[in-house]
């Protein structure tokens, strides 16, 4: 009997589509000239209109909803989500403050659902058919929020949800190449560990909701440090089954510098890595199939997922 070659599939998802015009251009470039296959769109992003236009003209790019509760203004009325917003009508800045509010009982589940529906429906109204849901700053992984996310994905017929249970690789190399940023790397790693704890039964919960997720996930520990070497490490160790790599390409122009994101020039480093000839050749040499969430089996948990 002929032995079949193991199949390794990879979704390379660029977060923050619609954050700025420069981020939009970089994501489209990383798709057309690199290995990015998918992106997650901020419904409340300043560059929403151009992101939608680019997506319409690029049907090969999978587009999901980057559910946001921690940056900018809500899509729904601020008066309808008072637990999520400040007196100025902006989201409470950062996932830490959001979680504190939730633990203190100041955020009703109905508010989160109302805002998530508004964000999803804004993309639907623009003619998009979202391929997946994930969370800006991984807010969707907080257990009560994850329950809402999984249910809405099933209700709206959205095929997949990101499961931020990271499989770590290349961490020693990242440390070695970024000696002055070791405290940041440790914090990133710690955040990945915390997300892994939150995600212990996430794939099982998605499967029970009839929603798909890749078997493996990469990118939390490497956020801000995803250079060519880090990308090569992921590609060389990619396991059999389906995986997702989170990335953040962009151009550090004036518009991005006005956004409260710590990823500035780091986005340009990622763009160079994602579009580099060496990386594109390595994908071919390794026999990796680049896919979007559309190619995942519907509502089926494929394989035994793990983290490392």
SS3 140: helix
Inside any domain, residue 3:
no
Inside any domain, residue 244:
yes
Task: Please give the helix or strand (H or E) that residue 13 lies within, else none.
Answer: strand 8-17
Inside any domain, residue 199:
yes
CA separation for the pair 82, 4 (Å, rounded): 55
Write the CA distances from 133 to 120, 158, 174, integer angstroms: 9, 8, 28
Single pTM value for the model? 0.92
Inside any domain, residue 279:
yes
CA separation for the pair 44, 292 (Å, rounded): 23
Residue-number span of the structural domain to which 117 is assigned: 8-295
Inside any domain, residue 304:
no
Inside any domain, residue 113:
yes
Phi and psi of 75, rounded to 5°?
A: -80, -40
Domain count, the chain: 1
CATH of residue 39: 3.20.20.370
Inside any domain, residue 220:
yes
Burial class (CB in 10 A: 0-12, 13-18, 19+), 226: buried
Q: Are 92 and 26 in contact (CB under 8 A)?
A: no
Contacts of 40 (CB under 8 A, 6+ apart): 13, 14, 15, 16, 17, 63, 64, 65, 66, 132, 134
Q: Which two tokens stand for residue 170?
A: 């290349």
Q: Are 198 and 192 in contact (CB under 8 A)?
A: no
pLDDT tens digits in sequence order for the chain, 308 residues long: 455 567 999 999 999 999 999 999 999 999 999 999 999 999 999 999 999 999 999 999 999 999 999 999 999 999 999 999 999 999 998 888 999 999 999 999 999 999 999 999 999 999 999 999 999 999 999 999 999 999 999 999 999 999 988 888 777 788 778 877 778 878 878 888 888 888 888 888 898 889 999 999 999 988 888 999 999 999 999 999 999 999 999 999 999 998 888 888 999 999 999 999 999 999 999 999 999 999 998 875 444 343 43
Burial class (CB in 10 A: 0-12, 13-18, 19+), 18: buried
Q: Are 118 and 74 in contact (CB under 8 A)?
A: yes
Q: What is the DSSP string of 203-258?
A: HHHHHHTT-B--SEEE-STTTT---HHHHHHHHHHPPSEEEEEEE------HHHHT
Inside any domain, residue 306:
no
Phi and psi of 57, rounded to 5°?
A: -85, -5
């Amino acid at each position: 009997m002929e032995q079949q070659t193991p199949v390794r599939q990879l979704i390379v998802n660029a977060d923050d589509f619609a954050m700025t015009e420069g981020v939009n251009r970089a994501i489209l470039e990383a798709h057309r000239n690199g290995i990015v296959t998918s992106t997650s769109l901020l419904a409340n992003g300043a560059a929403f209109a151009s992101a939608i236009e680019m997506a319409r003209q690029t049907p090969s790019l999978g587009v999901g909803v980057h559910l946001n509760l921690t940056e900018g203004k809500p899509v729904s009325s601020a008066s309808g989500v008072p637990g999520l917003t400040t007196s100025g009508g902006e989201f409470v800045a950062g996932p830490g403050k959001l979680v504190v509010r939730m633990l203190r009982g100041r955020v009703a589940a109905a508010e989160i659902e109302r805002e998530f529906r508004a964000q999803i429906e804004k993309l639907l109204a623009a003619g998009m058919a979202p391929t997946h849901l994930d969370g800006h700053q991984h807010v969707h992984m907080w257990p009560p929020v994850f329950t809402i996310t999984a249910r809405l994905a099933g209700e709206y017929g959205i095929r997949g949800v990101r499961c931020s249970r990271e499989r770590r690789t290349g961490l020693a190399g990242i440390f070695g190449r970024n000696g002055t940023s070791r405290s940041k790397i440790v914090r990133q790693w710690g955040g990945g560990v915390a997300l892994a704890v939150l995600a212990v039964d996430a794939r099982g919960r998605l499967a029970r909701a009839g929603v798909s997720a890749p078997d493996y996930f990469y990118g939390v520990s490497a956020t801000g440090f995803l250079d060519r070497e880090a990308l090569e490490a992921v590609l060389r160790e990619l396991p059999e089954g389906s995986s997702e790599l989170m990335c953040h390409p962009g151009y550090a122009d004036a518009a991005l510098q006005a956004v409260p994101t710590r990823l500035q020039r780091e986005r340009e480093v990622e763009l160079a890595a994602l579009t580099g000839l060496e990386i594109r050749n390595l994908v071919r040499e390794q026999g990796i199939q680049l896919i979007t969430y559309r190619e995942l089996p519907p509502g089926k948990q494929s394989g035994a997922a793990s983290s490392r």
